[in-house]
Structure 1
């Protein structure tokens, strides 16, 4: 140990103050800090971009009394620059932004997210697919067409059922099933020059990974499955206890992401970065609800220059315990108002939706729960430009909101709004007259 003046060292000692015992931690002020770099990789090629990057740092201390973390993990995540091919005459197509919540029925959204519901209806003029009850007490509304998340998302994102994607898709665990992303709306949009993004949390039970083996290739330009798999330790984080399940270090994940996102929202056509610091430190205090990271990824994506289609689906906030979704309300309100105040609704169709209602738990066992499971939340905000170009579209949508609708109709509606109706499915149910999926913007 080098000779140090008494004023240059804080000695470990016991202190008593107000009846409490405190211990001061020793720290040598002039001791140099050693930095070791191992296996560092330098990217020399210009234009090498990734969606996410993990940085690890290990610090060696002589003695730290267990109060200083010896490891630090950092994640740099964002939207990398990318220029998909685009025809000049199609550059002004409408953008599509879909925000989905797992296990969220229409009644559940109104009950647990009342502030967000009021903003959607009163401030954004959203059309709620609420249906109606006729004189014979028959209910017509937006309904599910199968059991589970995948059965709700297959029709919305591809216009097809799971069986149409693979004949053995309905086996409990079809791990030999690789889905073809070319059959999904992301590829259809990309071929027309769209930037596409697909963000989803809980990747260990992902919508297309729990029973299937995922996609043959990346389904969208920006796809954060690898990031969430790494951050969650492939799902082990979910089993590590309530205090770590929703949190990043000592700070709620959504606050880390929201704070950093606000600093970069004005950047256009550069990599919009957030850094989520995963610090192995002792958590002091109560539990943190860190549930809203995907919302800020949406804020990133909406600043990318060019046509955009983004689908974000959040599960951990509501999948296992629907009561938790109430913690999202204030942040979702802020996000929705940001979308409106930033002028995105001029040329962006916004859909806020659920895939189905709660599928298990005490509420699901009740009579009302059985009904709610089949009536997911679905709201649509039309772009101002579409309402000017098609003055009758809003009235038609409001009329169709009162009749029986399904996820197949949502897929056709999206293609109609994007002026890509030629790619809509022409499948007709046997003995039926109309196509299975109809645009809600047409009579």
Structure 2
């Protein structure tokens, strides 16, 4: 018995020593993990060293805290042998912490949006712990709490609107007003200079309790005021009006086979992941029968208009310079898709909820003539000049009594009601919104219930019985908290795209519905969506060979035809920087990487100099490299093959002033120390602040611009401002 006790004591002694050594080793690992933070660049000034130090200190504290959590979980696991439902969570925390210790360690995804030899787009969880940690939902704010004084009703028999005043509401608005007068003013597009930025609000037309509006009226501002004091307004409201001329109905003049209507609903800056995260009710609606989500839809360019041009025109930005884009009337000459639909007998409409930063006017002259049959912009300009504006989320949140997006939604509801339900004429409509989604990526959480109600109203107007409906975005988040997540590269480059086919279409063209179903998890691009819009006008094109190839991307296809399962970004005409198919591995921040960062900054400054933006914007300097990743060329038998002199890197770096963050993809010649085929406009800015670049209008240059301070410039700034190139070579 004594001998047994002796051996037990020795055994437990050795066990305790082993546990102590193991614990000490982990503690040393925690201390050594701090060395992975890159050193601060010596190109510093006192103004931003302090800010950078604070940021680094915060990172260190977070890492220490993660270490304590991991150690505590490890200790708990050693004390008990029983398993609990939280064991998997604990394992995940420890795994994440170990990854922090070794940033070069890479784990392969277990699930993909697209999984082929040529393209592997890893799955990004919308509800990951990291994403939900930064998710900050907002509440919907209404523009007014008072009841509506005015209402408009459409008479199908006369194709006219009746304007009505509710006397009960009027009495409650102001009991002290003895008598009142009511009027409406018509809003039309300006016939003077610059019609895209000016509207005409006509003289008031007075009426009693009710009046019938003339057929030519497309929009009105109505108000009631004190009869003895016109400036004492009881209530003012605005209404866009959509009439339908039955004589122009295509079903009467063109008794051809049934053609589907097409309605495009756009939410700016909405990735498929963020859509699932912040608009769950709307996401649930588009999971119903008939909807198809394109999970492999990959954006092609940086900004909104650059991504919409391939969809709406079938051309990239650089491919349509058959006229001076800055000259008035150029946009009218471009081959927008709604022209094809109008030629085919469709009624056409275009509406968006922004004015100063509209799709076709931000930095451009816009359209000299109204581009479609029903154009919302003149109405919005007119009412924004005549009604109170409330700013929220960086945009005009309220115009008068209504949300800016509500004018677009109501305009779309009227348009679809007139032509889908009452006239039965095919229609094409493009309706875009960014007031809730562009600058604040969680603001649409407050829009979710309202937007899904809007979709149900469209269903009530029989839109989904007769129309192909496309719910889409241009790109994902381009700055903010979402770009600090591990999935930031996918978050920016995978916009949402949902396509709905009505029952009659699925029954008539089952092969097209089957192809769309197959294409859900295949790589697709903006050009493919354009080909789809073209295909809808030629439904007898049963094979891809029946459709003419797109000159700007001959390998693009209609989504109603099966896309190749083996398809690369090059096949889809998606550039290297925007491509999500490629696998990258983390690289140490060596001297070559910092040299590469300085080369990129040099190219940015030179680009600004060539375009003479140095007269308005400061020169930028490399502050620090955040991370570097190298592209895996391809794999054989699960192993990476050798690569040559040219290596593709994905880099994120910070610059001075203002600690601007940029992300880019470059082809680097390691022997010559040069960058191959680099395009400065493709660089992504991931923490953009529009106030920093208010001195210029060019959207590309704004990414790199930090306006000079209004105070006296120092010698460095003054020298840069007056620098001139001796050659225009870029």
Q: Indicate whether the TM-score tops 0.5.
A: yes
Per the alignment, residue 395 of structure 1 pairs with: 514
- For 1:152 and 1:217, the matched residues in 2 are separated by 23
- For 2:175 and 2:369, the matched residues in 1 are separated by 53
- For 1:93 and 1:36, the matched residues in 2 are separated by 42
TM-score, normalising length from structure 1?
A: 0.70
- For 1:60 and 1:112, the matched residues in 2 are separated by 48
Structure 1 unaligned regions, length at least 5: 1-24, 131-140, 255-289, 430-434
- For 1:395 and 1:402, the matched residues in 2 are separated by 13
- For 1:388 and 1:190, the matched residues in 2 are separated by 26
Per the alignment, residue 345 of structure 2 pairs with: 193
- For 2:177 and 2:515, the matched residues in 1 are separated by 73
- For 2:233 and 2:455, the matched residues in 1 are separated by 40
Please say if residues 52 and 76 of structure 1, whose CA atoms lie closer than 8 Å, have aligned partners that are also in contact.
yes
Per the alignment, residue 426 of structure 1 pairs with: 550
- Choose between structure 1 and 2: higher helix proportion: 2
**Stretch deviating more after TM superposition (295-304 or 334-343):** 334-343
- SS of the equivalent of 1:295 reads helix
**Per-residue deviation, 1:175:** 6.2
Match of 1:225 among 377, 388, 405: 377
Deviations 1:14-46 (A, max 9, x none): xxxxxxxxxxx99486xx66899995579xxx9
Please say if residues 208 and 214 of structure 1, whose CA atoms lie closer than 8 Å, have aligned partners that are also in contact.
yes
- For 1:234 and 1:69, the matched residues in 2 are separated by 15
Structural mapping, 1:244-263, within 5 Å: 245-249=396-400, 251=401, 253=402
- For 1:342 and 1:167, the matched residues in 2 are separated by 41
Q: Are 1:351 and 2:516 matched, yes or no? A: no
Structure 2 unaligned regions, length at least 5: 1-173, 185-201, 207-212, 563-730
- For 2:475 and 2:386, the matched residues in 1 are separated by 25
Structural mapping, 1:18-167, within 5 Å: 27=176, 49-55=216-222, 59=226, 69-70=232-233, 72-82=235-245, 84=248, 86=250, 87-90=253-256, 92-121=258-287, 123-130=288-295, 141-166=296-321
- SS of the equivalent of 2:517 reads helix
Task: Evaluate the alpha carbon distance shift between residue 244 and residue 195 of structure 1 in structure 2; reply closer, same or farther with a 3 A threshold.
Answer: closer
> Which is bigger in relative contact order (C-alpha 8 A, separation at least 6)?
1
- For 1:76 and 1:210, the matched residues in 2 are separated by 25
Task: Evaluate the alpha carbon distance shift between residue 117 and residue 61 of structure 1 in structure 2; reply closer, same or farther with a 3 A threshold.
Answer: same
- SS of the equivalent of 2:493 reads coil
Task: Evaluate the alpha carbon distance shift between residue 49 and residue 322 of structure 1 in structure 2; reply closer, same or farther with a 3 A threshold.
Answer: same
- For 1:227 and 1:186, the matched residues in 2 are separated by 20
Please say if residues 351 and 375 of structure 2, whose CA atoms lie closer than 8 Å, have aligned partners that are also in contact.
yes
Per the alignment, residue 412 of structure 2 pairs with: 298
- SS of the equivalent of 2:311 reads helix
Per the alignment, residue 336 of structure 1 pairs with: 455
**Per-residue deviation, 1:237:** 3.3
Task: Evaluate the alpha carbon distance shift between residue 193 and residue 424 of structure 1 in structure 2; reply closer, same or farther with a 3 A threshold.
Answer: farther
Q: Are 1:202 and 2:316 matched, yes or no? A: no
- SS of the equivalent of 1:76 reads strand
- SS of the equivalent of 2:238 reads strand
**Per-residue deviation, 1:314:** 0.6
Please say if residues 183 and 223 of structure 2, whose CA atoms lie closer than 8 Å, have aligned partners that are also in contact.
no
Count, aligned residues: 353
Deviations 1:326-368 (A, max 9, x none): 1221122223234345543232101111111112223234442
- For 2:307 and 2:522, the matched residues in 1 are separated by 18
**Stretch deviating more after TM superposition (356-365 or 192-201):** 356-365
State the superposition RMSD in angstroms: 3.6
TM-score, normalising length from structure 2?
A: 0.44
- For 2:374 and 2:548, the matched residues in 1 are separated by 24
Task: Evaluate the alpha carbon distance shift between residue 39 and residue 437 of structure 1 in structure 2; reply closer, same or farther with a 3 A threshold.
Answer: same
Match of 1:309 among 422, 428, 439: 428
- For 1:28 and 1:300, the matched residues in 2 are separated by 35
- For 2:267 and 2:379, the matched residues in 1 are separated by 20
- SS of the equivalent of 1:180 reads helix
Please say if residues 97 and 310 of structure 1, whose CA atoms lie closer than 8 Å, have aligned partners that are also in contact.
yes
Task: Evaluate the alpha carbon distance shift between residue 234 and residue 180 of structure 1 in structure 2; reply closer, same or farther with a 3 A threshold.
Answer: farther
Match of 2:497 among 362, 365, 378: 378
**Stretch deviating more after TM superposition (195-204 or 177-186):** 177-186
Task: Evaluate the alpha carbon distance shift between residue 81 and residue 372 of structure 1 in structure 2; reply closer, same or farther with a 3 A threshold.
Answer: same
Please say if residues 199 and 225 of structure 1, whose CA atoms lie closer than 8 Å, have aligned partners that are also in contact.
yes
**Per-residue deviation, 1:248:** 4.8
Task: Evaluate the alpha carbon distance shift between residue 109 and residue 179 of structure 1 in structure 2; reply closer, same or farther with a 3 A threshold.
Answer: same
- For 1:34 and 1:361, the matched residues in 2 are separated by 49
**Per-residue deviation, 1:382:** 0.9
- For 1:158 and 1:377, the matched residues in 2 are separated by 20
Task: Evaluate the alpha carbon distance shift between residue 381 and residue 57 of structure 1 in structure 2; reply closer, same or farther with a 3 A threshold.
Answer: same
- SS of the equivalent of 2:470 reads strand
Please say if residues 467 and 501 of structure 2, whose CA atoms lie closer than 8 Å, have aligned partners that are also in contact.
yes
**Per-residue deviation, 1:169:** 7.5
- For 1:181 and 1:50, the matched residues in 2 are separated by 28
**Per-residue deviation, 1:106:** 0.5
**Per-residue deviation, 1:313:** 0.4
**Per-residue deviation, 1:184:** 0.9
- SS of the equivalent of 2:348 reads strand
- SS of the equivalent of 1:198 reads strand
